[in-house]
Amino acid sequence: MSSMAAIPGTGPSTGPVGVVRKVARRRFADLPTDRTLVMGVVNVTDNSFSDGGNHFDAEAAIQHGLKLHYAGADLIDVGGESTAPGRDAVDPDEEQRRVLPVIEALVRAGAVVSVDTRHAATARAALDHGEVIINDVSGLNFEPEMAELVAESGAHYIITHNRGDAHTMDELADYDDVVTEVIHELSEVKDQFIAAGAQPEQLILDPGLGFAKSGEQNWELLRGVERLVALGFPVLVGASRKRFLGTLLADSRGHAPAPVERDHATAAVSALAAAHGVWAVRVHDVAASVDAVKVAAAWGGPNTAPQHS
């Protein structure tokens, strides 16, 4: 473990934040620009599809976030509400109780942090702890207050394509041309944020794999990701451990591997996404994807790395 932080629970303080030694904070502007970035996932939930709630406790979540940080994650995405299909919503007050101690500790440890939230109140509270990126999977149904917050704060904001919510999204995966329609709907949301006063350089686009998409539609979006990159905005791809990868890897009897057994396929997506110029990949297993994006950068050469503001 680096001297920047102690493992939660091993230091003299009994609180999960106090055991993290404060260091110089990295900022968005400090992120590498010569390769695709890797965003590590910390789910502070009791019903995560990927880990089942292993990091629901704040101390466990901080320890996991530090592990990802030292494994080479460029960013750490902290979320307190599972938005997988069928999951129930979490009250913003409870969401903040879950994520704010984790965000504070990871920022103190020098990590660049994003908050995975659909709620402007939670995003605002997270921004009190520093230059936090807002990662919002609301899609077309974002809270109006979110656009105002992004404009006034200057925070970077990830627009995820989505339709409906966790209980309705699967019913709304009806597209004539999924790539064209996702680009159109992302552009609609982007334009609303700019109209509210946000600057284009604050905005990052995510095609929303798994959100109101069938398995084949996810593959179509990955095949068409260069069209999204061509819009000129940083693009985030989040395929990690998702159901469509499990379907791909299913055995002859149709039994899909558990989410934690899909990390090799995730790393393959990371390498290919990096080769097609995406800004970042959002993953659970950081080390494998760090290797994957470095290989893609070396293979592509110095003139093919994604650029971002």
Residue 69 has pLDDT above 60, yes or no: yes
Enter the tokens of residue 273.
């996404």
- Per annotation, catalytic residue among 163, 190, 241, 282: 282
Mean pLDDT calculated for residue range 55-78: 93
Strands 112-116 and 75-79: parallel
Cβ contacts of 197 within 8 Å, gap of 6 or more: 148, 151, 152
108 catalytically annotated: no
Residue 6 has pLDDT above 70, yes or no: no
State the Cα–Cα distance between residues 79 and 94, nearest whole angstrom. Answer: 12
pLDDT in tens, 173-203: 999 999 999 999 999 999 999 999 999 999 9
Residue 18 has pLDDT above 50, yes or no: no
Where residue 3 falls among pLDDT bands split at 50, 70, 90?
very low
For the beta sheet containing 236-237, the strands, ordered from the edge strand earlier in sequence to the opposite edge, are: 203-206, 157-160, 133-136, 112-116, 75-79, 37-43, 280-283, 236-237
DSSP-assigned states of every residue in the chain: --TT---TTSSS-SSTTTTSPP-PPP-GGGS-SSS-EEEEEEE-SSS-TTTTTTT-SHHHHHHHHHHHHHTT-SEEEEESS--STTPPP--HHHHHHHHHHHHHHHHHTT-EEEEE-S-HHHHHHHHTTSSPEEEE--GGG--HHHHHHHHHH---EEEE---S-TTTGGGG---SSHHHHHHHHHHHHHHHHHHTT--GGGEEEE--TTSS--HHHHHHHHHTHHHHHTTSS-BEE--TT-HHHHHHT--TT-PPPPGGGGHHHHHHHHHHHHHTT-SEEEES-HHHHHHHHHHHHHHH-TTSS----
- Per annotation, catalytic residue among 242, 243, 253, 294: 242
Domains, the chain, with CATH or none: 36-299 (3.20.20.20)
Longest Cα separation, the chain: 59
Half-sphere exposure of 159 (CA within 13 A, CB side): 29
pLDDT reported for residue 20: 55
Residue 48 has pLDDT above 80, yes or no: no
pLDDT reported for residue 89: 84
pLDDT reported for residue 7: 43
Where residue 165 falls among pLDDT bands split at 50, 70, 90?
confident
pLDDT reported for residue 46: 78
Least confident of 85-89, 273-277, 281-285: 85-89
pLDDT reported for residue 51: 64
pLDDT reported for residue 303: 57
Angle between helices 263-275 and 215-223 (to 10 degrees): 30
pLDDT in tens, 103-134: 999 999 999 999 999 999 999 999 999 999 99
pLDDT reported for residue 301: 78
Going from the C-alpha of 206 to that of each of 31, 118, 162, 253, 303, the distances in angstroms are: 18, 14, 10, 33, 23
State the Cα–Cα distance between residues 117 and 135, nearest whole angstrom. Answer: 6
242 catalytically annotated: yes
| Residue 266: CB atoms within 10 Å | 24
Mean pLDDT calculated for residue range 135-158: 96
Task: Provide φ and ψ at 205, rounded to 5°.
Answer: -110, 140
Burial degree of 303 (CB within 10 A; 0-12, 13-18, 19+):
exposed
Mean pLDDT calculated for residue range 224-228: 98
Where residue 88 falls among pLDDT bands split at 50, 70, 90?
confident
Residue 49 has pLDDT above 90, yes or no: no
Residue 80 has pLDDT above 60, yes or no: yes
pLDDT reported for residue 45: 85
pLDDT in tens, 285-298: 999 999 999 999 99
